[in-house]
Copies of this chain bind each other. A is one copy, B any other.
Amino acid sequence: MKVGILNIGTELLFGQVINSNAAFLSKELNNMGFDVMYHYIVGDNPDRMRIAINMLFNDCDIVITTGGLGPTQDDITKEIACEYMKDELIVSDDAMNELVGGYKKTGHKMPKNNLKQAYLPSRAVPFINDAGTAPGFALSNDDKYIICLPGPPREMTRMFKKSAKPYLEKFSNSVIYYKIIRTFGIGESSMEMTLLPLIDNQTDPTIATYAKEGECSLRITSKRKTLCEAKDAVDNMISEVNNLIGEYIYSFDNENFEKVVFDKLVENNISISSAESCTGGLFAKTITDFSGSSKIFDRGLVTYSNEAKVTELGVRLETLEKYGAVSEETAIEMAEGLFKASGSELCISVTGIAGPDGGTPEKPVGLVYIGCIYKGETKVIKIQMRNINRNWNRNYTLLNMMKVVYDCIN
């Protein structure tokens, strides 16, 4: 079935916001076997919204809109959808309860104009908004379907996955199945060279490689009549890929490295603490992003100044003076001090130069030492990154810390 996407919002036409909603929806809909024919973007203007909806329904069976569902006067998507589908807005009890309940919970008073959000088309299938106040919906007439979703990407993606996708699944007649394999420690070119025999002969499944922030992923995709056929084809290809680059693979399921590491820690009930300098809490923040992290994460000491390294971790002044804060010796003493303080089974430390300043010819920006104590064994790893920028350097250091933890417990 043919789908058109209509993104509504003057901020898009001002160029203040990049339209990530259209890309997200396109990807999801293509994966479900739909043909996305058009993206159309208009401002909060009723005449131009009418032009766009008419134009899209000329050629498409389904139109998905984002934006214009909020409480303010210029939010008119519902009105325009009703007009096209010959329906009218009525107060929805579900939407009203959601709205009032949300405000009750926070203790805030509901502004009057928010009541607008309790109105939905009378024949609509309502979609609850998990992350905001404006509900979405599906509405149809004469084999034409409109799906209206909110504009903020966080609200839109959640509502799509939870409500719109299940609603749309009944219309799809071919199935795309894919798996994304994630690797660390191999570059995109090397990966492509190694996999060339498989890539060159590809028709279905197809193999695509992506490089992203120091990691490398592989997407293996099959489009077949049934999910079962597509799944088999992808699984067979995965085992061939695994034979060639298995040592670099940490996930066959598009999980983040940090998620894989976190799950392993929890699964094996290994307590962990961190002592960070250059990453400034990024490791601790990343581990505690996961709910349930209190089961394994004890503490994270961000010892940014030399004084903090001495008083919090017992790093010796003479070590700092003789070898410097960015050194093998300091990384080890940080891990040792952390182990003494926390008693965690796995203690990881990091010290380095994230840049852009602070580098010297002997210790350039991008030099990092990672220390680690696990099961009575201390190790330290030196990494000299290609200095891309502070943000990249810190994130790539984080991945290397994850690699150290992963290697310890695997």
Contacts and interface: CB of A to CB of B under 8 A. Distances in A.
A291 B355 CA distance: 7
Nearest to A287: B280
Given A16-B180, A70-B188, A114-B189, 5 more contacts: A11-B208, A14-B26, A48-B59, A154-B213, A291-B357
A385 B106 contact: yes
A80 B391 CA distance: 34
Q: Classify the secondary structure of A's interface with B.
A: mixed
A308 B298 contact: yes
B312 A301 contact: yes
A104 to B, nearest CB: 10
A12 B208 CA distance: 13
A86 interface: no
A386 B106 contact: yes
Contacts of A48: 37-38, 59
Interface in A171-216: 180, 187-190, 192-193, 208-213
A301 B281 CA distance: 9
A113 B193 contact: yes
Interface string A15-44: 111111011111111100000111111110
A388 B130 contact: yes
Contact of A298 (B18, B279, B284, B307): B307
A111 interface: yes
Interface residues on A, range: 35 or more
23 contacts: A12-B23, A12-B26, A14-B221, A15-B22, A15-B36, A19-B23, A37-B42, A37-B43, A106-B384, A106-B386, A113-B189, A280-B288, A280-B297, A284-B302, A288-B302, A288-B304, A291-B354, A293-B304, A299-B302, A300-B302, A301-B301, A301-B302, A301-B312
A51 interface: yes
A285 B288 contact: no
Of the candidates A51, A301, A385, the one having the most CB atoms from chain B within 10 angstroms of its own CB is A301
B131 A341 contact: no
Contact of A386 (B7, B23, B105, B289): B105
A354 B211 CA distance: 33
Nearest to A11: B210
A180 to B, nearest CB: 8
A396 to B, nearest CB: 11
B27 A23 contact: no
Interface in A116-131: 130-131
B30 A15 contact: yes
Contacts of A180: 16
Interface in A199-254: 208-213, 219, 221
A305 B301 contact: no
A310 to B, nearest CB: 11
Contacts of A342: 308
A293 B391 CA distance: 13
A152 interface: yes
A312 B289 contact: no
Contacts of A106: 384-386
